Amino acid sequence: MCIEFETPKPIAQQQYVLKTVAENMMRSVSREMDENEHAVPYGYIEFMHAAMKATGAGSLAPKSEKKEEDLNKPKRPPIGYQMLAHMLEMLSWGDVGMYLVTPGGGLGAAAVEAAATPEQKQKFLARFGEEKPTFAAMCMTEPGAGSDTSAIKTNAYLDEKTNEWVINGEKIFVTAGHKSMVPDECFGKGFIVVWASIDPSAGRAGMRGFVIEQGTPGATVTKLEHKMGIRASDTAAISLIDARVPYDHVLGNPTVEKQTEKGFKKAMATFDATRPLVAATGIGVARASLEFVKEKLAENGIEIRYGLPRNKLTSIERDVIDMEIMLRSSWLMVIKAVWMADNGKPNALESSMCKVKAGDVTTKITQKAVELMGPLGYSREFLLEKWFRDAKITDIYEGTGQINRLVVARQILGYSGRELR
Amino acid sequence: MYSFEPNEEQQMLLEAVGRFAANDLRPAGHDAEEEGTLPKKVVSKGWELGVLQASVPEAYGGFGERSAVTGVLALEEMAFGDLAGTLAVNVPSLFVTPILLVGSEEQKKEFIPPVIEMDWQPYTAALIEYALDFDPLELKTFAKAEGDGYILTGEKAFVPFAREAEAMLVYANLDGNTQGFIVPKTAAGLTVRSEAEKLMSLNALPTYRVSFEGVKVPKGNRLGGEAGHDFQPVLASMRLALAAMAVGVARAAFEYSRDYAKEREAFGVKIAQKQAIAFMLAEMATEIEAIRMLTWEAAWKMDTGAEDAFKDAYLAAVGAADMVMMVTDRAVQILGGYGYIREYPVEMWMRNGRGLATLVGLAIL
C-alpha cells in the first residue's frame, strides 16, 4: 500500500509503440477519413488486428492456454485496465474516430465478457483472435430510449417449438453496427448484442442481452448516421423484425426474477467498466488539442510563465494553465478508476465521476483551443477544428454528462434510483 | 506502479489527525473565529500529533523522514476540521521546513532541534507583502550584502504570531533572487505592529505587519549558508500545503451541505432529491477528487525529485484555489439563508476558501 504515480514499465513501453502507430497510421489519414465519412481505414484496422493478435493487447478473446506460473516470481498487481486506458488515450490522441473502428469486439464483446457463461464466452469471443479482424457492437439506444434504458421497447420471446428467441424492435446509434452486421470480405463475421425485454411488465428485471450473429434474417442495418465528428466511425440504425436466435444466445439467466434487476445490472456493469475508458478517449483528443495550442504559441514566441501569481498572468496564460489543470486532473481520475477495477475494488462512483469530468474537460479544452488559435483554429487546414467536433461526443455517449452526474449524486447521497430520479 | 492507498504509517497518522480535526479543531473553530482567539491547549494538542516532528530526521531532533505525500494527506485531514487552527498548529513548520529543505547542515543542527524537541512555540516566517502585485519571486523587501552580513529593508504582511515569535524566516529580494534570512525577534530595526491584521477570515490566527529598517543579519543566518539556496522547493512546498488545505476545507463544506440537503425538506421531498441540488453536489465531489489527485501527484513528484514537480505544485495550487471557491460557494448556496448566517460554519469556509488563493507562505509541508 502506498501512493504512487509511476507509469508501469509495460505500459510505458506500449505507449512508445502506440505513439508511432498514432502518428504514422492515424494522424496521416485523419483528415482524409474525416472528409470521406464512412470510408473504412483498412490499413489501420488490419495493422491493429495483427498487432493485437501478436501481443494479446486490447483483445477480449479467451486466452488459449495459460503459461505455467512461476511460483517463485513475486506476483505483480494486475494492470490490464490501466493498460487499456493508456492505449485508448494514445490511439484517440491519434484519431478518436479511427480508434472507434479498432477491431476486437468493442462494447459488444465487453457485454459478453461481463454477462456470459464460460461456454458462451468461448463461442462468441474466440473469433476475435482469428485471422481476419472482426467487429461486434452493443445495441442499447432506441429512438424513444436513450439514457432512460427502462423505456426500451425491443422485446424477445421464446418460440418453444423451435427453442429460439424471436426479437423485434429498432436500435439506433450503434457504434460499429455496420462493420459488425454487414459482410465485408476483409473482415470476419461479427455480431451485435441487443438489449431487449423478455417480460415488458417486469421493467428492468426483464432486460436481457441477446447475441445476434451477422447474417441473421430479420436483423438489418437500415441507416448510417452523418455526424458532427468521429466520422471514421460508423453509427448504424438496426431494425429487428422477427430476428431469430438460438436459445443459448441469451446472456445471463433466461428466467425473469421480478424482484431483482440482475439482467439490467449486467448491462450497467459493462458501463462501470467502460466509462473510464471512454473518458480516456476524450482525454486523448483534449491532449492532442492542448499540445497543438502550446506548439503554435511557442512558434509565435508566446511563452507561458508558470509560477506567476494569478493576477499577473495574461489571459492566454490563464487559459493554458487552466487547460493543463483540467487535463491532468481528469486523467488522474481515470487512472484511479481503472486501478480500482484492476484491483477488484467497486468503482461505480469513480467511473462515473471521471466520465463527468472528462466530458466537461474535453469539450472545454477543445473549444478553448479553437478560440485561442483564431483563424487557425477554425480552418480545416489543421486538425484542431476536427478535434473540437470529435470531442463533443465524449460528453454524450456511454451516458451523458447529466446521467453520470445522476449516478455520482446517487452514490454520494446514498440514494436509490427511486429516491433521486 | 500506480497506487492510491496511503501506507500503514500514513493511515495511522491520518486516523490520529482525523480524530483531532473532528473532536478538537471543528468544535473550537466557530468560537475561535468569532472571538478571535484559539485555545492554546487545542494548538498544543495538534502539535503533539507530531506531523512536523515525524518529517524531521533524528539527527535534528525529530523521528522520521520528510514526505510531501504524507504532508498533503495530513494537512487535508486537519484542514477538514478548521483552517485557522490548522495554520496555527503548523506555524513552526514555516520556520523548520525551509531550513530542513534548503538550509545548511549547521543551520539544521542549530535551529531545528530547539523548535522540534519542545512544546509548540511560535517560530514563524514572513513572505507576503502588502501590495496588489505581490509576487514571491519579485519581493520588495530587499536584502543587501554589507560587511560580513546582510541588511534587510522593507515591510512584510500577514506574518503569523509575529509578536510572540522567538525568530522568523524573512524572505527578501537579494539581487533579484528570493532568499531566506533567519532573524531573531531581538534584531534591531525589526518592528512588529502592535495591532493584529484584520482579514476576511482566520480571525483565530494572529497575523501582523512587520517592518525591517536596516536589520542586520549575520552571514551565517542566510538560509543555505553563504551560497544561499534555491527558493523553488520552498515555494512549491508552500503551494502544496495550500492545495492540500483547500481540499480539506472543500471537503468540509461539501460534506456539511450534503448532509444538510438530505435533511432539509421542500415541496414534500428532501432538497437533495432535486436534481438542481444533487447535480451541484455531484460536481462538488468530482472537483474535490480531481484536485486531490493533482495534489497527490505533485507531492509524489516532489518526493521522487521529478523535474516538473515545482510546476505541478503550482498547477495544483492554482487548481485548488478555483476548486475550493467553487465548492464552498455552492455549499453556502445549498444552505440558502442559513448558509449566510454565521451560526453555521459554511460561510466561514467560503471566506477561508477565498484566502487560499492569496495566502501563499502561511503554511508549508
Q: Give A404-420 pLDDT, tens digit per residue.
A: 999 999 999 999 999 99
CA of A116 vs chain B CAs: smallest distance (Å): 30
Q: Are residues B344 and B241 located together in one domain of the fold?
A: yes
Q: How confident is the model at residue A62 (pLDDT cuts 50, 70, 90)?
A: low
Which of A170, A185, A398, A419 is labelled catalytic? A398
Q: Are residues B208 and B240 located together in one domain of the fold?
A: no
CA of B70 vs chain A CAs: smallest distance (Å): 9
Q: Which residue of B has its CA nearest to A360?
A: B283
Q: How confident is the model at residue B105 (pLDDT cuts 50, 70, 90)?
A: very high
Query: Mean pLDDT across chain A, nearest whole number?
Result: 92
Please state the rounded mean pLDDT for residues A214-236. 97
CA of A166 vs chain B CAs: smallest distance (Å): 39
Which is more confidently placed, A58 or B300? B300
Looking at beta carbons, which residues of chain B come within 8 Å of A357?
A: 286, 290
Q: Are residues B29 and B111 located together in one domain of the fold?
A: yes
What residues contact residue A350 under an 8 Å CB cut-off, 6+ apart? A276, A333, A336, A337, A340, B289
Is A324 close to B315, i.e. CB distance below 8 A? Answer: yes
pLDDT at A261: 65
Last residue of a domain, which of B179, B197, B221?
A: B221
Q: Are residues B265 and B340 located together in one domain of the fold?
A: yes
Last residue of a domain, which of B193, B221, B249?
A: B221
Is A339 close to B314, i.e. CB distance below 8 A? Answer: no
Domain annotation covers residue B239: yes
Domain annotation covers residue B1: no
Domains detected in chain A:
135-258 (2.40.110.10), 264-413 (1.20.140.10)
Q: Are residues B28 and B137 located together in one domain of the fold?
A: no
Which is more confidently placed, A201 or A333? A333
Domain annotation covers residue B317: yes
Q: How confident is the model at residue A205 (pLDDT cuts 50, 70, 90)?
A: confident
Last residue of a domain, which of B221, B249, B264?
A: B221
Is B310 close to A409, i.e. CB distance below 8 A? Answer: no
Express each pLDDT in B253-276 by its tens digit: 999 999 999 999 999 999 999 999
Q: Are residues B36 and B76 located together in one domain of the fold?
A: yes
Q: Which residue of A has its CA nearest to B312?
A: A325
Domain annotation covers residue B365: no
Q: How confident is the model at residue A66 (pLDDT cuts 50, 70, 90)?
A: very low
CATH for B84: 1.10.540.10
Percent of residues, chain B, with pLDDT higher than 90: 100
Q: How confident is the model at residue A334 (pLDDT cuts 50, 70, 90)?
A: very high
CATH for B212: 2.40.110.10
Name the CA dihedral angle for B295, B298, B300, B304, rounded to a multiple of 10 degrees.
Answer: -170
Q: Are B324 and B353 in contact (CB under 8 A)?
A: yes
Give the 3-state secondary structure of chain B.
CEEECCCHHHHHHHHHHHHHHHHHHHHHHHHHHHHCCCCHHHHHHHHHCCCCHHHCCHHHCCCCCCCHHHHHHHHHHHHHHCHHHHHHHCHHHHHHHHHHHHCCHHHHHHHHHHHHCCCCCCCEEECCCCCCCCCCCCCCCEEEEECCEEEEEEEEEEEECCCCCCEEEEEEEECCEEEEEEEECCCCCEEECCCCCCCCCCCCCCEEEEEEEEEEEEHHHECCCCCCCCCHHHHHHHHHHHHHHHHHHHHHHHHHHHHHHHHCEECCEEHHHCHHHHHHHHHHHHHHHHHHHHHHHHHHHHHHCCCCHHHHHHHHHHHHHHHHHHHHHHHHHHHHHHHHCCCCCHHHHHHHHHHCCCCCCCCCC
Q: How confident is the model at residue A59 (pLDDT cuts 50, 70, 90)?
A: low
Domain annotation covers residue B2: no
Q: How confident is the model at residue A258 (pLDDT cuts 50, 70, 90)?
A: low
Q: How confident is the model at residue B161 (pLDDT cuts 50, 70, 90)?
A: very high
Pairing of β A250-251 and β A207-213:
antiparallel
Domain extent, residue B311, equals: 232-355
Q: Are residues B347 and B320 located together in one domain of the fold?
A: yes
Q: How confident is the model at residue A262 (pLDDT cuts 50, 70, 90)?
A: low
Residue A371 is a catalytic residue: no
Q: Are residues B348 and B243 located together in one domain of the fold?
A: yes
Please state the rounded mean pLDDT for residues B158-176. 97
Q: Are residues B275 and B319 located together in one domain of the fold?
A: yes
Q: Are residues B154 and B265 located together in one domain of the fold?
A: no
Please state the rounded mean pLDDT for residues A8-26. 96
Q: Are residues B239 and B345 located together in one domain of the fold?
A: yes
Burial class, A301, CB count within 10 angstroms (exposed 0-12 / middle 13-18 / buried 19+):
exposed
Q: How confident is the model at residue A65 (pLDDT cuts 50, 70, 90)?
A: very low
Domain count, chain B: 3
pLDDT at A270: 67
Query: Mean pLDDT across chain B, nearest whole number?
Result: 97
Is A357 close to B133, i.e. CB distance below 8 A? Answer: no
Please state the rounded mean pLDDT for residues B335-362. 96
